[in-house]
Structure 1
């Protein structure tokens, strides 16, 4: 195990393990329509994928706190019913998650999606069992910023006596890079998600495909 470059791995979900955009953007369109608001265009809706949803309702839609909480209520009901399953695994990611587990490397999900839908999604793709722990946003969204999710993942891994001497984050958005950096953790960015090269500027490395990511993880 000492020959591997990293002793623990934190994995983002949307845009890293799964292409979740169809279910998220469809649910967002439903939410805006239910609120009597104009539905943003497809490119704008895609910008909601990745960051904490309440932050996006505030920063992108200009909603008040009450409006955001109402939007979240509508969004969650629809997403848990339909949207969470409107996603696909990126080719090779299911096998990579399995191989990380088989290599004995502690593995935590680290997503700004609440833990319930995140867990349901991983179970849907039959890969939940490969994760040491599943860490996401709290149900009340008080833990949703990526830095806070990473902090919780580290607490849970440490409680399991995981070796955290050389952890790494794997994600597709700037929120992953910055959230991990807040704890001194490097990020490997992946190009198949929803981020762009500017968002990956401070990543320790960028993987063009899953084979490249395997190499960077020493698998």
Structure 2
């Protein structure tokens, strides 16, 4: 097998977190006077650090973006975190990878404490040897930093044996920055064009068959 260590993003890769994140984004933006917001049009909040999203999409200065993040968390940390679900079939795919001898880890931009609540709630934690999220909050913590923390946790020395699996450009970008291969998944929140533009090594469409795709990479 080409890889022995698989790093997974969380939102849009292991769980469908869209409802909680987009509704919490609406809550935050409404506090700044935005109206007529449609949660279905706010998928760009899923994945990247919130600081980047508020600044890049709404032109917020850093101080204002931090205030928006605080409003977001008012709702998300209480309600939104569990407006979420594990993708149907993902447990079976993870089980197949473990049975094949793969070491599995999570690398997410979601705050570490929130990530732990999610993976425990949706019975994902037992599959993973290492899990890392943003420290304190996700206000600008680089995804590549998180991948490097996973490498340290696992005492990884041969990066050619590591694959990053995620659904958005920042997952692929972080893999590129760290010198590892990547697999973009289309069942999440990114598009094929997005993943191809950041040069994902592989792209796959469905949860079903994900383990086979990983195990047969060439």
- TM-score, with length taken from structure 1: 0.89
RMSD of the alignment, in Å?
2.0
Q: Deviations over 1:76-133 (max 9, x none)?
A: 2311101111112111112222333344322111111111111111111111122111
SS at match of 2:35: coil
Structure 2, gaps ≥5 residues long: none
Q: Report whether the alignment pairs 1:13 with 2:7.
A: no
Deviation at 1:6, TM superposition (A): 0.8
Select which of 60, 64, 68 maps to 2:61.
Answer: 64
Q: Where has structure 1 moved over 4 Å in runs of 4 or more?
A: 161-165
2:146 pairs, out of 144, 149, 161, with 149
User: In structure 2, do the counterparts of structure 1 residues 114 and 77 end up closer, same or farther at CA, with 3 Å as the change threshold?
Assistant: same
Q: Note closer, same or farther for the CA distance 1:19–1:70 as it changes in structure 2 (3 Å cut).
A: same
In the alignment, which of 93, 110, 116 is matched to residue 96 of structure 1?
Answer: 93
How many residues end up aligned between the 2 structures? 214
Equivalent-residue separation in structure 2 for 1:190 and 1:12 (angstroms): 10
Cα shift at 1:156 = 1.5
Answer yes or no: is 1:31 the counterpart of 2:12: no
* Cα displacement (A) at 1:163: 6.2
Paired with 1:104 and 1:82, the residues of 2 have a C-alpha distance of 37
1:189 corresponds in structure 2 to 184
Q: Are the equivalent residues in 1 in contact too, given 2:17–2:84 (CA < 8 A)? A: yes
Contact 2:51–2:140 (CA under 8 A) maintained in structure 1: no
Is 1:199 matched with 2:194? yes
Question: 1:55 deviation in Å?
Answer: 0.5
| 8 A Cα contact 1:106 1:162, kept in partner | no
Displacement of 1:166: 0.5
Q: Separation in 1 of the partners of 2:103 and 2:158?
A: 8
* TM-score, scaled to structure 2: 0.90
Which of 79, 90, 105 lines up with 2:102 in the alignment? 105
Decide whether the 8 Å contact of 1:115 with 1:139 is kept in 2: yes
